[in-house]
């Protein structure tokens, strides 16, 4: 699996999807640039989300708020006081880690041990293997499981109580070693705020400290009244936004899974107090369906309901996706109560209430949030799409089985040879399709090589123009996943492609 992940990362670079930022200066940790293919895929993901929210729901509208916001907003939201990670340094290696991640890694290792025992036994006993029974009775598995549960309970409590000393004690008790040097010489655990700050303007009393937003949601909350009033919105209604967010993440690893500059697609849905859990359940369902509709495989998704809730939430779940490094969060769905709107009312001194004409009363709306990272979604799609296939002739082909609607290039038009009027015919076809679909023209190298190049960027269709095409106005259309080829009239191409690439 690790190997596949490494290959995926280099594939992303080789084919112009994702580059390390500032690469000629040796890069900048946890910051990435999207290349010529990546930006198309990313834009298509954003459109898929935006349309599903704003186009298909009459009661959801979009906004685009600024990244810079009044600094008091982050006081009101709780980010100045509570948006922290617990950090620990190793004295010998001088490396810095997140204490919670060190412990999570240990838990994962314990899980692995248990699963290995189960796998071994499953192999030995074959069909007669009763897995449930084995887990409950095998002494080695029981021992590992008990140890794991103990650690998990201690860890959960320490996190819940923000008990930094206890976090350190766990690291010492379980003799967790620094992953780089193997030493165990740890410092105290300290809180580290994840927000980036900078200075704005300059006045006689100095510049104002402002933050780069760590989430897009607050831009929606502070515009609640603006949108509700000018859009004459009636509850329940939603406000959607796509935009950059910034977090000074300490554990910057796993490629674009955890970045310091990333993009979020968030929707805040405002409802009557008391109806929030009903809406929470509804959005949970809608969002999972949306993911599954991409066809990457239903079994790759699962919910992870939270026991430990953030200070603003009364229910929360993640939609997790099976990445090459395990099931990981791609989207969070939170019932945020009326925490944000009430808090902004308090800090700003402005009344933020909604008059409900049906109930004939005013109240502070409750909020259900759906929040998904564009980059994580991108990674999940690439991970599911990346396939290495053994072909009948013994060769392997790398193919990106991207959902056709999201593919950066929809079709490639390939003249069989570079002469005899075939390039001109190919150009003619492109000109008739280019306003509806992103097309590519390629005449270099053998047709087989050209197919491989298109497979590698996930182009669903290759159209080959040959000498016959000049007479009969027919071309060969090759389907990426099946490699099936069909002879079709040029005049049918538009409809064939349209049927596959529209959502
Ligand atoms: P994690 O626990 O992985 O740090 P989170 O619970 O802090 O994530 P939220 O604050 O709920 O994440 O943000 C909503 C979504 O934004 C996440 O589901 C994820 O897709 C995305 N996201 C959050 N942090 C990052 C990051 N550093 N890089 C890329 N995407 C991110």
The three state secondary structure string of 107-149 is: HHHHHHHHHHHHHHHHHHHHHHCCHHHHHHHCHHHHHHHHHHH
> Does residue 375's CB lie within 6 angstroms of at least one atom of ligand 1?
yes
Question: Which residues have a Cβ under 8 Å from the Cβ of 497 and sit 6 or more positions away?
Answer: 410, 411, 433, 437, 460, 461
pLDDT at position 128: 87
The two tokens of residue 123 are 């192999």
What stretches in the chain show pLDDT beneath 50? none
> Does residue 262's CB lie within 6 angstroms of at least one atom of ligand 1?
yes
Distance 439 CA to ligand 1 centre (A): 34
Write out pLDDT tens, residues 340-368.
Answer: 999 999 999 999 999 999 999 999 999 99
Q: Which positions make up the binding site?
A: 98, 215, 247-249, 257-266, 329-330, 369-376
Distance 141 CA to ligand 1 centre (A): 33
Which CATH number applies to 2-83+196-384: 3.20.20.10, 3.30.930.10, 2.40.110.10, 3.40.50.300? Answer: 3.30.930.10
Atom 20, ligand 1: residue with shortest CA distance: 373
- DSSP codes joined into one string, 343-370: HHHHHH-----EEETTTTEEEPPEEEEE
- Domain covering 409-501: architecture: 3-Layer(aba) Sandwich (3.40)
Closest by CA position to 67, among listed 203, 249, 192, 218: 218
- Domain covering 86-189: architecture: 2-Layer Sandwich (3.30)
Angstrom distance (rounded) from CA 195 to CA 488: 56
The two tokens of residue 287 are 């969002």
Distance 375 CA to ligand 1 centre (A): 10
Q: Which atom of ligand 1 is nearest to the CA of 374?
A: 20
ipTM, 2 decimals? Answer: 0.97
User: Other C-beta atoms within 10 Å of 468: how many?
Assistant: 13
pLDDT at position 1: 64
> Does residue 328's CB lie within 6 angstroms of at least one atom of ligand 1?
no
**Residue with the two structure tokens 């402002």:** 210
- The CA-to-CA distance between both ends of the chain, in Å, stands at 31
> Does residue 45's CB lie within 6 angstroms of at least one atom of ligand 1?
no
Domain positions in the chain are: 2-83+196-384, 86-189, 409-501
Q: Name the region of 490 (left: φ>0; alpha: ψ -120 to 50; beta: rest).
A: alpha
Atom 12, ligand 1: residue with shortest CA distance: 332
Atom 3, ligand 1: residue with shortest CA distance: 329
> What's the length of the chain?
503
pLDDT at position 252: 67
The two tokens of residue 257 are 């899974």
pTM: 0.89
Asked if residue 106 lies in contact with residue 119, where contact means CB atoms within 8 angstroms, the answer is: no
Instruction: Give the strand pairing for 411-415 and 461-465.
Output: parallel
Kindly state the helix (H) or strand (E) to which residue 441 belongs, with its residue range. strand 439-441
pLDDT at position 116: 93
Distance 230 CA to ligand 1 centre (A): 31
Kindly state the helix (H) or strand (E) to which residue 24 belongs, with its residue range. none
Angstrom distance (rounded) from CA 377 to CA 301: 12
């Amino acid at each position: 699996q690790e190997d596949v992940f490494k290959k995926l990362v280099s594939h992303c670079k080789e084919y112009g999807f994702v580059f390390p930022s500032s690469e000629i200066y040796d890069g900048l940790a946890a910051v990435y640039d999207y290349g010529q293919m990546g930006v198309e895929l990313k834009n298509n993901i954003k459109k898929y989300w935006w349309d599903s929210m704003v186009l298909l729901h009459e009661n959801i509208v979009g906004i685009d708020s600024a990244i810079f916001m009044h600094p008091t907003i982050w006081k009101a939201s709780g980010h100045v006081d509570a948006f922290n990670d617990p950090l620990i340094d190793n004295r010998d290696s001088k490396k810095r880690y997140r204490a919670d991640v060190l412990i999570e890694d240990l838990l994962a290792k314990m899980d692995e041990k248990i699963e290995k025992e189960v796998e071994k036994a499953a192999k030995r006993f074959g069909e007669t293997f009763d897995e449930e029974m084995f887990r409950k009775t095998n002494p080695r598995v029981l021992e590992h499981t008990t140890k794991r549960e103990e650690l998990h309970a201690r860890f959960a409590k320490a996190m819940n109580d923000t008990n930094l000393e206890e976090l350190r004690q766990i690291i010492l008790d379980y003799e967790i070693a620094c992953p780089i040097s193997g030493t165990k010489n740890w410092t105290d655990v300290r809180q580290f705020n994840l927000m980036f700050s900078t200075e704005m303007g300059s006045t006689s009393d100095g510049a104002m400290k402002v933050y780069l937003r760590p989430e897009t949601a607050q831009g929606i909350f502070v515009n609640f009244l603006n949108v509700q009033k000018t859009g004459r919105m009636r509850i329940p209604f939603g406000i959607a936004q796509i935009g950059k967010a910034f977090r000074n993440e300490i554990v910057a690893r796993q490629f674009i899974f955890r970045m310091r500059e990333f993009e979020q697609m968030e929707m805040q849905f405002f409802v009557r107090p008391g109806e929030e859990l009903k809406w929470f359940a509804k959005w949970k369902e809608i969002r999972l369906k949306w993911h599954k509709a991409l066809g990457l495989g239903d079994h790759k998704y699962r919910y992870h309901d939270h026991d430990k809730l953030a200070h603003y939430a009364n229910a929360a779940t993640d939609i997790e996706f099976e990445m090459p490094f395990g099931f990981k969060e791609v989207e969070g769905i939170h019932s945020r109560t009326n925490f944000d709107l009430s808090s902004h009312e308090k800090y700003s001194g402005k009344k933020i209430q909604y008059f409900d004409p049906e109930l004939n009363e005013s109240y502070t709306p409750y909020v259900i949030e759906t929040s998904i990272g564009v980059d994580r979604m991108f990674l999940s799609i690439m991970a599911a799409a990346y396939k290495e296939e053994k072909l009948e002739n013994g060769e392997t082909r790398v193919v990106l089985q991207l959902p056709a609607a999201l593919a950066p290039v929809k079709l490639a038009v390939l003249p069989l040879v570079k002469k005899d009027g075939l390039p001109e015919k190919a150009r003619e076809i492109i000109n008739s399709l280019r306003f509806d679909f992103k097309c590519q023209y390629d005449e270099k190298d053998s047709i087989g090589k050209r197919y491989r190049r298109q497979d590698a960027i996930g182009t669903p269709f290759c159209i080959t123009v040959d000498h016959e095409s000049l007479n009969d106005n027919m071309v060969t259309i090759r389907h990426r996943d099946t490699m099936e080829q069909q002879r079709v009239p040029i005049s049918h191409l538009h409809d064939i492609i349209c049927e596959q690439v529209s959502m």
